[in-house]
């Protein structure tokens, strides 16, 4: 899931032995690169973006072993301020922890040898699960499963990691966290506690003194409206919100709202009404206006669907 | 290939939630690499729940039973090559669109990072692998001629999901109804769900809930088949 450029932190990381680096979301990449170029900072961007749930949401900028970390951080702070001033304020949505380990093939091979060498941090290797997991992945994929009774959630958890990159050896990312026993999934908080335990007791000790990077971040756990709607529908929604007389709605506003409704219908978009209302709230519409607009949206879509059905019959 | 009676027997011996899939739910993970309409790509949100379901079942195969009919299996095989081809064409088109922007950038001196064409990546093959894995995960129900005959009745009577004359949806629907009915007759209390993104035949307009014409059939106390418009909606409701 993408995080927004306005929300994502911009920090120089110094863990590992491969030199300081910066992890950026795709919208931050251009502004950060431009700012560093302007300041004469040397860097190299990893060719492959780091994947999050299949979305290339993050990129790693390597600064080199001799980088002036304080100077780069000052540049990043300026870029972050600038992006926040331009970015749209977002409602605080629930987040989940992601975990990615990256390195060159040699270093990742050393890491994998350490993984193969036995139990670490109380996490047992589950080769039985790995075999089943492997069957659900592309043939060349690397798959790992570890399990532990995690004290923070008082439940046995299975953490699945899979590889990506050339030969699937240059990146391992946390694919899923699943309860090993019983019914129901972990809630977000429990999931994050398991990831935190895995990172601190398994991944970080294993990665120590290796030239690999442990990238951990919180990302939005729910897709936002911008990700769910087409660019045309979002453009209509934004145009409506910009032009609307908030607190004193006008007939013209409703015409623009109808345009948005029509566009979502043309797109066949399934719109979560709570999410739509939250977007409107975030944009300054009163509760009364929001309710009226959502009602209008529902009835508009119902009418358009009925019209389509009539035409088909 | 097990009959409905075989599947019922195994579920009664080891109860677990049941997820019945439509062909489109399995093909969708490849089919999402296409245009919703000119200029608008389809959503790829369908991939995540499939990945999640398969991983959950890899960790604990007793969490749920995924079921398809033999017809779903046949339809998947009939369609996958065409869908794979369309996905490749989609990526080639994206490469062409990006290439055009790069040509423009070259003409005015705008600096752009090197573009690695999507068509050279194994993305489509990997999605086909995922779709294949979901199909392989499913228990394949043998077709029952009596249920196919009931499906034909729906076509003759122009009843959903065959109101527009197609029989395949009714064959699947009759088998899933019967599976749920026979399970409930044994006192089976786990959830039995039917998932289909087929809006035209199953949905109530744009709402991902069952069409009112079909609701009484799935809500019948002797059936209790839950309907979902996507795996995204299904999994949390099944505790997965």
Prediction ipTM score: 0.85
Please give the C-alpha separations between residue A73 and each of A11, A35, A67, in angstroms, as whole numbers.
6, 11, 11
B79 three-state secondary structure? helix
Tell me which residue in A138, A231, A305 faces B206 most closely, judged by beta carbons.
Answer: A305
Confidence at A86, pLDDT banded by 50, 70, 90: low
Tell me which residue in B45, B47, B205 faces A302 most closely, judged by beta carbons.
Answer: B205
Which residue of A lies nearest to B239 if distances are taken between CA atoms?
A184
pLDDT tens digits for A189-247?
A: 999 999 999 999 999 999 988 888 888 877 777 777 877 788 889 999 999 998 888 77
Which residue of B lies nearest to A160 if distances are taken between CA atoms?
B55
Q: Quote the pLDDT of residue A1.
A: 40
Confidence at A270, pLDDT banded by 50, 70, 90: confident
- Residue A260: how many CA atoms within 13 Å on its side-chain side? 23
Q: Which residues of chain B have pLDDT under 70?
A: none
Please give the C-alpha separations between residue A139 and each of A164, B32, B126, in angstroms, as whole numbers.
12, 21, 9
- What the block records as the tokens of B38 is 């000119």
Whether A146 contacts chain B with CB within 8 A: no
Q: Is the peptide bond before A303 cis (omega within 30 degrees of 0)?
A: no
Q: Quote the pLDDT of residue B172.
A: 97
Q: Quote the pLDDT of residue B127.
A: 96
Nearest to A188 by CA among A79, A97, A289: A97
What global pTM score does this model have?
Answer: 0.81
pLDDT tens digits for A14-73?
A: 876 778 888 887 778 888 888 888 888 888 887 565 655 544 467 788 888 888 888 999
Task: Give the best residue of B54, B55, B63 to mutate against chain A (max A CB count within 10 A).
Answer: B55
CB contact under 8 A, B164 and A312: yes
pLDDT tens digits for B4-45?
A: 999 999 999 999 999 999 999 999 999 999 998 888 888 888
């Amino acid at each position: 899931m993408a995080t927004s450029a306005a929300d994502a932190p911009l920090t120089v990381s110094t863990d590992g032995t491969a030199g300081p680096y910066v992890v950026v979301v795709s919208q931050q990449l251009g502004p950060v690169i431009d700012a560093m170029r302007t300041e004469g900072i040397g860097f190299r961007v990893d060719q492959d973006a780091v994947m999050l749930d299949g979305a290339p949401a993050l990129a790693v900028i390597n600064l080199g072993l001799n980088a002036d970390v304080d100077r780069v951080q000052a540049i990043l702070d300026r870029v972050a301020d600038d992006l926040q001033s331009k970015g749209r304020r977002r409602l605080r949505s629930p987040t989940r922890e992601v975990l990615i380990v990256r390195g060159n093939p040699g270093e990742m091979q050393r890491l994998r040898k350490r993984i193969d060498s036995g139990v670490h941090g109380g996490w047992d290797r589950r080769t039985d699960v790995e075999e089943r997991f492997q069957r659900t992945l592309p043939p060349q994929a690397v798959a790992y499963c570890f399990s532990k009774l995690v004290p923070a959630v008082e439940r046995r958890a299975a953490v699945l990691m899979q590889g990506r990159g050339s030969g699937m050896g240059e990146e391992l990312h946390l694919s899923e966290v699943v309860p090993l026993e019983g019914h129901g999934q972990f809630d977000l908080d429990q999931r994050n506690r398991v990831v935190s335990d895995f990172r601190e007791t398994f991944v970080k000790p294993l990665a120590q003194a290796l030239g690999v990077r442990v990238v951990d971040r919180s990302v939005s756990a729910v897709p936002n409206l911008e990700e769910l709607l087409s660019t045309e529908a979002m453009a209509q929604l934004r145009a409506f919100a910009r032009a609307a007389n908030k607190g004193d709605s006008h007939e013209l506003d409703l015409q623009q709202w109808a345009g948005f409704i029509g566009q979502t219908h043309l797109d066949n978009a399934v719109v979560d009404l709570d999410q739509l209302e939250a977007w409107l709230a975030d944009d300054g519409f009163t509760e009364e206006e929001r309710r009226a607009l959502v009602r209008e949206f529902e009835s508009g879509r119902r009418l358009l669907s009925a019209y389509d059905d009539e035409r088909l019959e | 290939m097990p009959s409905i009676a075989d599947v019922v027997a195994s579920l009664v011996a080891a109860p677990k939630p049941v997820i019945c899939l439509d062909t489109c739910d399995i093909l969708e993970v490849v089919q999402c690499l296409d245009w919703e309409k000119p200029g608008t790509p389809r959503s790829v949100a369908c991939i995540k729940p499939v990945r999640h379901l398969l991983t959950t079942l890899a960790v604990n195969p007793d969490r749920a039973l995924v079921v398809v009919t033999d017809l779903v299996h046949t339809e998947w095989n009939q369609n996958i090559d065409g869908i794979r081809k369309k996905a490749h064409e989609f990526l080639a088109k994206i490469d062409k669109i990006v290439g055009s922007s790069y040509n423009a950038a070259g003409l005015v001196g705008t600096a752009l990072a090197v573009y690695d064409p999507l068509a050279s990546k194994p993305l489509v093959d990997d999605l086909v692998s995922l779709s294949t894995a979901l199909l392989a995960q499913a228990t394949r129900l043998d077709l029952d001629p009596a249920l196919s005959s009931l499906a034909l009745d729906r076509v003759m009577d122009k009843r959903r999901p065959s109101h527009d004359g197609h029989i395949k949806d009714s064959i699947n629907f009759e088998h899933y109804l019967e599976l749920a009915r026979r399970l409930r007759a044994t006192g089976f209390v786990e959830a039995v769900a039917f998932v289909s993104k087929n809006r035209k035949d199953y949905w109530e307009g744009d709402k991902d809930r069952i069409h009112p014409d079909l609701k009484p059939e799935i809500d019948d106390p002797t059936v209790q088949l839950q309907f979902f418009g996507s795996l995204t909606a299904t999994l949390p409701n099944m505790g997965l």
